[in-house]
Amino acid sequence: MQNKLQLPAVMVIFGGTGDLTHRKLMPSLYNLFYQGLLPDNFAVVSVGRRDLTDEEYRNQVKESIEKFARFKLDEELWNKMKEVIYYVRFNFDDDDGYVHLKEILSDLDNKYNTAGNRLYYLAVSPEYFEVIVDKLDVHKMDLEENCVRRIVIEKPFGRDLASAAYLNEQITRVFKEENTYRIDHYLGKEMIQNIMVMRFANSVFEHLWNNRYIDNIQISSTETVGVENRGGYYENAGALKDMVQNHMFQLLTLTAMEPPVNLETESIRDEKVKVLRSLQPVTEKFVRENMVRGQYGRGEIGIHNIKGYREEDRVSPESDIETFVAMKLYIENYRWAGVPFYIRSGKRMANKTTEIVVQFKSLPKILYAKDMDLQPSLLVIKVQPKEGIMFQFNAKKPGTGNQIVPIQMDFCQNCSMENDSPEAYERLISDLIKGDSTLFTRWDEVEFSWKYVDDVTRIWRNEKTQFPNYAAGSWGPEAAHELLRRDGRQWWLV
């Protein structure tokens, strides 16, 4: 049972007419409101360029909630909620707009007793992060004695280490690190939060969580969709920057971190950063031997013929951007020395899934394993679309023989009860209101992951690629399978 959030505040959404606001933020706010969790003194002001009245904007939000919220729209509740949603139109670089916004916010403070507290949410493309932060500073909307002023920055946080560092400097010049909330929405997902609970609340797992008992760990995030309408953005990113730098490294750090000294935000973040700092250094040889990149060509998914990446909208016909990446990493510490972490992420793959597979070491070739090839025990943490945990182990096949077969204990968290799992953004917004930044990334996490990704990119830039090298609807390039095969392993599809 959750308690109502307490901070009186106005949430200002820059980019209030955009896709993210309509598909995620407003539906999540409604879900929180529906559960009675939003603070009593709370209002939302959306900023965009479109010419809309409050009423027109509210109607658009209502449609989005009907489409995307996990709870059915309740007219009575909506009529209450819509009263605290406002729309302001101005261009992000227009000073008069901020003057006007400031007046509105001050009126809302009086109307709703929101005490001058502000949650600035930058649901805008990265080119506007700096200008908005700068204007908030110029118009003295960043600091106010005894008031809470927090800022949320959407992904991507930079294009590389240099741009991320520059952006960080601009933000932290105005907002303190503890008031800066860098979103990685994977961290809001239920099963991601469950990784720590599973590890540190179950003796059966934590005692085995090391190189004595674990053979390898596989972290996969595959999608069946292509770049959709994001070709322009993707051409400057690719799978390594779009997925590995943020989401995949977050999964890696939570899986591999040492137990924190306590459950406080900074203690957890300290341990996550140590994992990134312990990664085997990137060299040309290392990249050549342990990293595979791919780009999808034409193929089939179900009954649909799919075009290749180079034929997508706003993508160069000669593009050498990767839509798939696979890698083998080592974490150089006592817990993980010698255990490979295989990571892969790709678009237009055969299946959509995000999961972590922990493969335990096989038993010596004696007793049952003497004459039979026994399957290894696997622990699978399913992040999406199914959320749950599966444990695979060996048991006797019922009957008179001595056949041993792998069986699976499968716990699916979101299968039985519809609407049971909160949206990632629901959790993240609620933590933002609480002032808990554990599920947001600290600057040094961003810094170390960009450094790693930059080192790989620099090496890749100098090496010719043979793209496309996997068919849409497949499991990625042959080299990604070879990466494990030569170690006597395979990617698990469970």
Ligand X SMILES: NC(=O)c1ccc[n+]([C@@H]2O[C@H](COP(=O)([O-])OP(=O)(O)OC[C@H]3O[C@@H](n4cnc5c(N)ncnc54)[C@H](OP(=O)(O)O)[C@@H]3O)[C@@H](O)[C@H]2O)c1
Residues known to be catalytic: 247
In angstroms, give the least distance from the CB of 182 to ligand X. 12
Closest CA to 292 of 321, 324, 320: 324
Beta strands 42-48 and 85-89 are parallel
**Single-letter amino acid, residue 321:** I
Nearer to ligand X, 49 or 173 (CB): 49
In angstroms, give the least distance from the CB of 117 to ligand X. 23
453 SS3 class: helix
d(CA 258, CA 275): 8
Nearer to ligand X, 85 or 124 (CB): 124
Nearer to ligand X, 236 or 283 (CB): 236
On whether the CB atoms of residues 102 and 61 are closer than 8 A, the answer is no
Helix 26-34 × helix 54-68 angle, to 10°: 80
Structure token pair of residue 109: 């403070």
Binding site for ligand X (CB under 6 A): 15-20, 23-24, 48-50, 91-92, 123-126, 154-155
Residue 190 CB partners (closer than 8 Å, separation 6+): 387, 413, 414, 421, 422, 427
Closest CA to 240 of 479, 441, 455: 455
In angstroms, give the least distance from the CB of 92 to ligand X. 4
Nearer to ligand X, 19 or 463 (CB): 19
Nearer to ligand X, 48 or 294 (CB): 48
On whether the CB atoms of residues 188 and 155 are closer than 8 A, the answer is no
On whether the CB atoms of residues 323 and 487 are closer than 8 A, the answer is no
In angstroms, give the least distance from the CB of 100 to ligand X. 13
Residue 455 CB partners (closer than 8 Å, separation 6+): 282
On whether the CB atoms of residues 27 and 64 are closer than 8 A, the answer is yes
Q: How distant, in Å, are the alpha carbons of 17, 26, 100 from that of 20? A: 9, 9, 24
Give the sheet arrangement for strand 180-182, strand by strand: 85-89, 42-48, 9-14, 118-122, 149-153, 180-182
In angstroms, give the least distance from the CB of 474 to ligand X. 26
Nearer to ligand X, 126 or 477 (CB): 126
On whether the CB atoms of residues 190 and 196 are closer than 8 A, the answer is no
On whether the CB atoms of residues 467 and 296 are closer than 8 A, the answer is no
In angstroms, give the least distance from the CB of 130 to ligand X. 13
Nearer to ligand X, 154 or 355 (CB): 154
Alpha helices (H) in 117-185, listed in sequence order: 129-138, 161-174
In angstroms, give the least distance from the CB of 233 to ligand X. 7
In angstroms, give the least distance from the CB of 58 to ligand X. 15
Q: Which single residue brings its beta carbon nearest to ligand X?
A: 18
Structure token pair of residue 378: 């696997």
Cβ neighbour number for residue 298 with a 10 Å cutoff: 16
Nearer to ligand X, 155 or 386 (CB): 155
